[in-house]
């Protein structure tokens, strides 16, 4: 038993800092808790109300589990190979307070709350190899004044509702969401920091001009006609997450060394332009169940997944640099009410991707791909769908570095046996000669929106209204 305890302690001391990449220390707000005479304790695993009652009697915990007198788990130090603390399937109220909890669990959280409500975690220091705190099917819980570190993510919220997060420090890892409906993204955030900067959380706002430069992670939820600019995000599950948004723009932002750079979920008419999305674990940009998105003049490179993945109709991908990713562009077939069709991919430089330059999976339809330069991809393009077009039908195809002039056409790989009838082996030049009318209209719309955003900002400032720094 003593040898196992020493082994756990050694793992905690050595491996956690290595995996976190940037060793972090609790701030002055939480350092005081380190000096408390915390009691060393083994992992606490509770499953059900009866189990909670039984353990509370054995341990001598205060309270009786009612809202007015919650159970109190207080002043423990726990280091574990798996869960340091796991509470599931309970209806009683409880508080976890002034604890130091550390885990080297590869696949789960240090602290796990599953199907609970009215819980409070406060004044704790939590550090994990993977996930700091995991909330699943949790309602009306509060996390207040904690220091929560996670090598993958500090805080994971899955199918959880109406929780409150106040004065928490997330030095790395950030926050991830997973919910089947918009309500699962609706929580109260106040005065939290992510990677040493404030968390940006905006719910149900209209017409805001948001300067994202001060935020460590940014969530735009259920909002419309917002203009977001100049963010710089790293070491989080996703730099920017837009959910249930309409007619929003994200401009001149940088997102790197995260799981995803930018995620657009169940949204419409979102524009991403002049952004740099690089070195992310999965996609630089993920468009999921979203329609009519416009992706223009971005640099998307060195991501370990695809540069852009798309699930949803009518995406327009125009004049981007998409290079050195595992794959360039992935169009994913839809399911149920959401289908992937009608995409437009024009005048992009797509090169150096270790797998497909562009992959249209079976079930994707109505994509038009022309005016692009494909080179040094393996392969340049692949089409397993049907009804997609690889030239404009008039005289413009794509430039391919593996095109042979004496053939007269270029056959795209894949089961669709698609043909570029106007293929070229040289780089297309002078973009203005090639951008079709529909793209010109889109560019005009983008410029107009930017001008309107500037005008709106001037009006907002004149009225003295907030400029997008709230977490509420």
Q: How confident is the model at residue 245 (pLDDT cuts 50, 70, 90)?
A: very high
Query: Minimum mean pLDDT among 78-87, 354-363, 431-440: which range?
Result: 431-440
**For residue 204, is the peptide bond before it cis, meaning its omega torsion is within 30 degrees of 0?**
no
pLDDT at 22 over 90: no
Task: Quick: pLDDT tens for 134-161.
Answer: 999 999 999 999 999 999 999 999 999 9
Query: Minimum mean pLDDT among 22-26, 124-128, 133-137: which range?
Result: 22-26
- Higher pLDDT among residues 425 and 33, named by residue: 425
* Strand duo 119-122 + 94-97: pairing: parallel
Q: What is the pLDDT of residue 87?
A: 99
Average pLDDT over residues 66-89: 97
pLDDT at 444 over 50: no
Q: How confident is the model at residue 428 (pLDDT cuts 50, 70, 90)?
A: low
* Contact by Cβ (8 Å): 107, 131: no
pLDDT at 49 over 80: yes
d(CA 403, CA 261): 33
Q: How confident is the model at residue 32 (pLDDT cuts 50, 70, 90)?
A: low
Cα distances from 82 to residues 104, 113, 448, in angstroms, run 6, 14, 54
Q: What is the pLDDT of residue 30?
A: 52
Q: How confident is the model at residue 403 (pLDDT cuts 50, 70, 90)?
A: very high
Query: Minimum mean pLDDT among 29-38, 80-89, 336-345: which range?
Result: 29-38
Average pLDDT over residues 285-314: 99
- Higher pLDDT among residues 252 and 12, named by residue: 252
CA–CA–CA angle 278, 280, 284 (5° rounding)? 60
Query: Minimum mean pLDDT among 118-122, 219-223, 384-388, 426-430: which range?
Result: 426-430
Q: What is the pLDDT of residue 24?
A: 47
- Higher pLDDT among residues 406 and 126, named by residue: 126
96 DSSP β-pair partners? 73, 121
Q: What is the pLDDT of residue 407?
A: 78
Q: What is the pLDDT of residue 429?
A: 54
Q: How confident is the model at residue 333 (pLDDT cuts 50, 70, 90)?
A: very high
Calculate the average pLDDT of the chain: 87
Average pLDDT over residues 357-386: 98
Task: Quick: pLDDT tens for 348-363.
Answer: 999 999 999 999 999 9
Say what percent of the chain tops pLDDT 90.
Answer: 79
Cα distances from 10 to residues 117, 194, 353, 359, in angstroms, run 35, 27, 40, 46
Of 220, 240, 222, 244, the C-alpha closest to 230 is 240
Of 327, 444, 334, the C-alpha closest to 379 is 327
Average pLDDT over residues 403-414: 88
190 DSSP β-pair partners? 166
pLDDT at 449 over 80: no
Of 324, 360, 175, 352, the C-alpha closest to 260 is 175
CA–CA–CA angle 443, 445, 447 (5° rounding)? 70
Average pLDDT over residues 232-239: 97
Average pLDDT over residues 195-218: 98
Query: Minimum mean pLDDT among 26-30, 146-150, 312-316, 331-335: which range?
Result: 26-30
* CA dihedral over 115, 116, 117, 121, signed as positive or negative: negative
Q: What is the pLDDT of residue 425?
A: 83
CA torsion 129-140-147-57 (nearest 10°) is -80
Q: What is the pLDDT of residue 167?
A: 98
């Amino acid at each position: 038993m003593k040898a196992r305890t020493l082994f756990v302690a050694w793992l905690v001391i050595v491996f956690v800092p290595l995996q976190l990449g940037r060793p972090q220390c609790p701030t002055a707000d939480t350092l005081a808790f380190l000096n408390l005479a915390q009691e060393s304790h083994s992992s606490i695993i509770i499953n059900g109300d009866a189990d909670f009652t039984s353990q509370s009697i054995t341990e001598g915990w205060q309270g009786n589990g009612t809202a007015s007198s919650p159970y109190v788990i207080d002043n423990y130090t726990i280091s574990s190979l798996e869960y340091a603390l796991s509470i599931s399937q309970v209806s009683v109220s409880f508080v976890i307070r002034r604890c130091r909890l550390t885990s080297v669990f590869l696949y789960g959280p240090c602290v796990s709350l599953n199907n609970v409500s009215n819980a409070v975690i406060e004044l704790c220091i939590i550090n994990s190899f993977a996930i700091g705190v995991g909330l699943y099917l949790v309602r009306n819980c509060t996390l207040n004044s904690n220091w929560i570190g996670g090598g993958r993510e500090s805080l994971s919220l899955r199918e959880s509702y109406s929780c409150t997060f106040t004065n928490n420090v997330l030095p790395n890892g950030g926050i991830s969401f997973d919910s089947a409906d918009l309500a699962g993204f609706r929580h109260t955030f106040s005065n939290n920091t992510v990677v040493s900067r404030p968390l940006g959380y905006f719910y149900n706002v209209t017409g805001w001009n948001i300067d994202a430069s001060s935020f460590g992670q940014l969530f735009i939820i259920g909002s419309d006609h917002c203009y977001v600019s100049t963010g710089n995000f790293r070491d989080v599950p996703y730099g920017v997450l837009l959910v249930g948004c309409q007619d929003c723009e994200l401009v001149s932002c940088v997102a790197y060394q995260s799981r995803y750079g930018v995620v657009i979920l169940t949204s419409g008419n979102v524009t991403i332009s002049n952004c740099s999305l690089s070195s992310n674990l999965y996609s630089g940009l993920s468009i999921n169940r979203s329609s009519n998105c416009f992706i223009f003049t971005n640099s998307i490179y060195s991501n370990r997944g695809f540069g852009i993945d798309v699930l949803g109709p009518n995406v327009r991908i125009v004049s981007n640099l998409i290079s050195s990713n595992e794959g360039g562009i992935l169009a994913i077939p839809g399911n149920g009410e959401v289908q992937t069709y009608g995409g437009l991919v024009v005048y992009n430089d797509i090169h150096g991707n270790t797998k497909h330059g562009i992959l249209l999976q079976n079930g994707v339809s109505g994509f038009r791909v022309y005016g692009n330069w494909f080179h040094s991809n393996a392969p340049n393009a692949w089409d397993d769908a049907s009804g997609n077009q690889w030239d404009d039908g008039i005289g413009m195809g794509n430039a391919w570095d593996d095109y042979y002039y004496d053939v007269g056409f270029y056959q795209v790989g894949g089961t669709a046996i698609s043909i570029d009838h106007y293929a070229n082996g040289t780089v297309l030049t002078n973009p203005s000669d090639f951008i079709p009318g529909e793209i010109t209209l889109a560019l005009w719309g983008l410029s107009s929106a930017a001008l309107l955003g500037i005008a709106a900002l001037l009006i907002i400032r004149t009225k003295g209204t907030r400029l997008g720094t709230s977490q509420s």
